[in-house]
Amino acid sequence: MRDAVSRFVHDGDTVVIEGFTHLICFAAAHEIIRQQRRDLTLARLTPDLIYDQLIAAGCAKKLIFSWAGNPGVGSLHGMRRAVEQSDPQPLALEEYSHFGLVARLSAGAAKLPFWPLRDYRGSDLPAVNSAIRTIDCPYTGEELATVPALNPDVTIVHAQRADSAGNTQIWGLYGVQKEAAFAASRVIVVVEEIVPESVIRADPNRTIIPGFIVDAVVCEPWGAHPSYAQGYYDRDNDFYVAWDTVSRDAKGLEAWLNEWVYGVGSRAEYFDKLGEDVTARLSAKPRMSEGVNYGF
């Protein structure tokens, strides 16, 4: 992870670490914090705790998002301090709806300049974000909304497994990981397990990202905690609730970063620090799917 972040994430980059509730790569964010990257533009549908931590650690100058909260719990206090008090530094916001941000990544992946969508009529969002525009359909004359392509410098995707070439398989919710990877100039894949190529080839329909667009593959078990990996470990909902207290004041959040990010050298150390009580509580029970016949 240290090498991947050092080589492929640079100061000033536009960075996407996606994953909708599922497969959010906290391990990569923590390494970015440890390497003290600065002036990043962070894009994600739901900034979640992962960007709250990056913002509070002073890594970000801008946030592109569509829903900013701690799901089911409350506010993102780190993000709000940056927006409201410029603490630790000012944070510019660029706001869409989910569909709008998904469409930006779709355009980016398809290397089109924009994406049309039937949305935003009767909403104030275009009035506060000049990137949301309209176009008259050349076939029907209908006025459609448009959003510009989003092409991140680097996208980081967490997944259950990949081979060493980066052919990546995800099951369960896969959000916009595919679009975010294809839209990016550089792609880092972080997995729970590296498997032989034969395992990938035995079930090709499950491959979301082909290895030839991937720049680095990192094996980092429990790398998504407190998010989850279907079939490996459950979401740590207690952590999401506890974060509200931890992050409520800047000092508390800083103490947490000191203990859990700067205070550990790697995800393996973080995992040991979590302890068996937590990992046993979250480990997934088996619910295997049946294989299919790929023969001809």
Partner 1 sequence: MAVRAARELADGDVVFVGIGLPNLACNLARATHAPNLVLIYESGAVGAVPERLPVSIGDPALVTDSLAVASMADIFQFYLQGRRIDVGFLGGAQVDRYANINSTVIGSYAQPKVRLPGSGGACEIAVHASRVIVVAPLSARSFPASVDFYTSPGQAGKYGTRTQLKLPGGGPTRIVTDVGILAPAKHDGELELVAAYPGVQIAEIKTKVGWPLRVSAELEPIEPPTAEELTLLRDVLDPQHLYL
For position 243 contacting partner 1 by CB under 8 A, the verdict is: no
Q: Which of 39, 58, 61, 83 binds partner 1 (CB under 8 A)?
A: 83
* Least distance to partner 1, CB of residue 140, Å: 11
Q: What's phi and psi for 149, nearest 5 deg?
A: -60, 145
Q: Which of 122, 286, 291, 295 binds partner 1 (CB under 8 A)?
A: 122
- Which of positions 32-61 make contact with partner 1 (CB under 8 A)? 45-46
Q: What is the full DSSP assignment across 90-127?
A: --EEEE--HHHHHHHHHHHHHT-SEEEES--TT-SHHH
Token pair of 223 as six digits: 């790398």
What is the Cα–Cα distance from 71 to 87, expressed in whole angstroms? 23
Q: Which of 117, 194, 213, 264 binds partner 1 (CB under 8 A)?
A: 117
Q: Which one, 166 or 226, has the nearer CB to partner 1?
A: 226
Q: What's phi and psi for 169, nearest 5 deg?
A: -115, 135
* Least distance to partner 1, CB of residue 82, Å: 11
Contact assessment for residue 160 and residue 169, using Cβ atoms and an 8 Å cutoff: yes
User: Other C-beta atoms within 10 Å of 114: how many?
Assistant: 16
- Report how many residues bind partner 1 under the rule CB under 8 A: 52
Q: Which of 71, 90, 204, 265 binds partner 1 (CB under 8 A)?
A: 71
Q: Which one, 37 or 178, has the nearer CB to partner 1?
A: 178
Q: Which of 230, 248, 256, 262 binds partner 1 (CB under 8 A)?
A: 230
